Amino acid sequence: MKRSPLLLGLLAAGLVARLSPQACAQATLTTLFTNGPTANRVNLVVLSEGYTASQLGQFLIDARGAVSNLLAAPVYHEYSNYFNAFAISVASTQSGSDHYTPATTLVSTYFNSTYDSYGIQRLITIPPNDRDSLYADGQGKVDALLQSLMPEYDLVILVVNDPQYGGSGGTTLISSINMSSPEIVRHESGHTFGDLADEYSDPYPGYITVEKPNATAQTSRTLIKWGAWIDPTTLVPTPQTSVYALLVGLFQGAEYQTIGWYRPKLDCKMNHLNTNFCEVCSEQLVKSTYGRIKSIDSFFPVSTNLSVISAQSVLFGVAALQPATHNLAFQWFMDEAPVIGATNSTSSLQPQLFPNGSHLLRAQVLDNTTLVRNDPSNLLSNSVTWTVNISLNKMTLVSSRALTGGRFAFSVTGTAPRGFVLQASTNLLGWNSLST
């Protein structure tokens, strides 16, 4: 089963809040859509916050909207077949969320969400935070519901039934139902799903800068992590002018710092809403997807250790996930050598073409998407290997030599079936039985 690394750590530490049977009974799981088994799909789970019991029908509408809007973003849309989506409905006593500006308004909600977190009005969080330090009041409840109803989650979205603009990205992606919420969800998914940094330079007091896939303090061209995307003629650091607006480079200003930290592109969804993810951030989101699933969904034969005692051909095959607009590449290998022309999802093994003994047949599936240029961990490559033990009744002609009078001598080694005959031909068309 797939589980969040954070949840695994909390389970090991015994910190996951345990819900009472009554609390679990209050929550219901709804399947929004599925594209395959949860064990090999990216599982989105949307939870309700600030919806009363009579508003949970509206929550399911909002949950579907949040998911469909997220997967409509270009990089997500290309891999939308890789996703499943679910909703966990749990009622709050009151609607909305806590506010502290311009006036204090407190409401009773299931996950105790609040705006104005850490002095930022639009920042919505759940405990533990600066308003409530108890994990069990917020994130603990999220983790307990996931453990109970959907432990194979990959990305969790908490939809807050409040019209004011706000959200956050962390262990749980949080968004209000403001008209900008589709963009909030997409941006925050960059944090929660892709471990991407904010690329704007607005100050965030107390923030500790750290290297991210889209943020660096490195200025040496050869050491820039997204160097594969930078043209040799692009200046590094890159001037923030219209000349370079469409190019990947090294633009100063990222991670809430005006100097000393750099981002890949002049603009990107991690910098401003209502724009697309840049090439570097898109690459990271694709790799984050493949870090959670395998492109090979199933294969046959199911057993990966086979004994072949007949010359009859054996069919092998793999079923792979397919992106929206491009195809995955297939290549078959025999004993680690590529089989010429074997580039389909199936391959037929002809046992008589190989000597008796153990052989390795491998099917490799590779995503050659142009969205990724740098994949040192080979996340976009997936393979399955069969060990094939061939044991055929084979005869081999050895020690042949010419004799006088048109005769010749030879030896035959190997195991033969009953009733075999020896024949000879001068043109491989007509065959005559030999006198021995």
Local confidence pLDDT in tens for the 436 residues of the chain = 354 433 333 333 334 444 444 455 489 999 999 999 999 999 999 999 999 999 999 999 999 999 999 999 999 999 999 999 999 999 999 999 999 999 999 999 999 999 999 999 999 999 999 999 999 999 999 999 999 999 999 999 999 999 999 999 999 999 999 999 999 999 999 999 999 999 999 888 888 999 999 999 999 999 999 999 999 999 999 999 999 999 999 999 999 999 999 999 999 999 999 999 999 999 999 999 999 999 999 999 999 999 999 989 999 999 999 999 999 999 999 999 999 999 999 999 999 999 999 999 999 999 999 999 999 999 999 999 999 999 997 666 777 788 887 777 877 776 565 566 777 787 777 888 877 6
Is-contact 218 224, C-beta < 8 A?
yes
Angle formed by the axes of helices 5-13 and 139-149, to 10°? 100
Conformational region of residue 287, where left means phi above 0, alpha means psi within -120 to 50, and beta covers everything else: alpha
Helices (H) and strands (E) in the chain, counts: 7, 20
CA dihedral sign, ordered 235, 240, 241, 244? positive
Note whether 183 and 132 are within 8 A (CB): no
What is the length of the chain? Answer: 436
pLDDT at 10: 36
Stated as kind and residue range, the H or E segment containing 186 is helix 181-192
Say how far apart CA 168 and CA 175 lie, in whole Å.
7
d(CA 311, CA 168): 62
423-424 vs 408-414, strand pairing mode: unpaired
CA pair distance 188, 175, nearest whole angstrom: 8
Q: How many whole angstroms separate alpha carbon 433 and alpha carbon 436?
A: 9
What is the rounded CA–CA span in Å between residue 7 and residue 258? 35
